[in-house]
Amino acid sequence: MLRFCGLLLVLVMSSLHAAEAPVEVTGAMTVNSAQAKRLHELGAVFVDVRPTRQWSWGHVWGAVHLDLAGNFAEMGNQAWPRQVPLVVYCDSEVCPRSALAAQMLVGWGYTQVYYYREGFFAWQLLDMPQGRGLKGEQVAFRTLAAPAVAGLE
């Protein structure tokens, strides 16, 4: 019950300064929580576009963190495979970041973009697989060119 009340408080506070996300994104398939779970089981790549602070509080198990305001633009790199199924999510239906990210992915030519509008709060409420940080998780994508490290060049 305490967990539910905490999530409800976060949802209410988020809605005070957030716009509702669109129901659909042209070129992407909107999925509900059951469909998102099935995609997770099938190995689709989940892309969390929330800020790092929110990512650190918890995320879909195995999700790739690409902050929409930060390194998400790396997905526009032509070297990334365009046929990989990508499930894009944010916090909830009051977070338009995932809709914008899905729209960008479609524009960059990705062919299997899934827009999980209900987002992480719904995933968490349904007690589906969650992670914090990268402990025990596998990361699907890494930056193609590693930054130079002093002494290892």
Which residues are 64's β-sheet partners? Answer: 47
Q: Which tens digits make up the pLDDT trace of 95-137?
A: 899 999 999 999 999 999 999 999 999 999 998 888 886 665 5
Residue ranges of alpha helices (H) inside the chain are 2-15, 33-41, 52-57, 97-107, 119-125
Distance CA 7, CA 58 (A): 12
| The residue to which tokens 């408080």 are assigned | 9
Burial class (CB in 10 A: 0-12, 13-18, 19+), 136: exposed
Domains of the chain: 2-130 (3.40.250.10)
Q: Which tens digits make up the pLDDT trace of 1-55?
A: 444 433 433 443 444 345 788 788 999 999 999 999 999 999 999 999 999 888 8
The model carries a pTM of 0.76
Distance CA 28, CA 30 (A): 6
Q: In terms of DSSP bridges, do strands 113-116 and 29-30 run parallel, antiparallel, or are they unpaired?
A: parallel
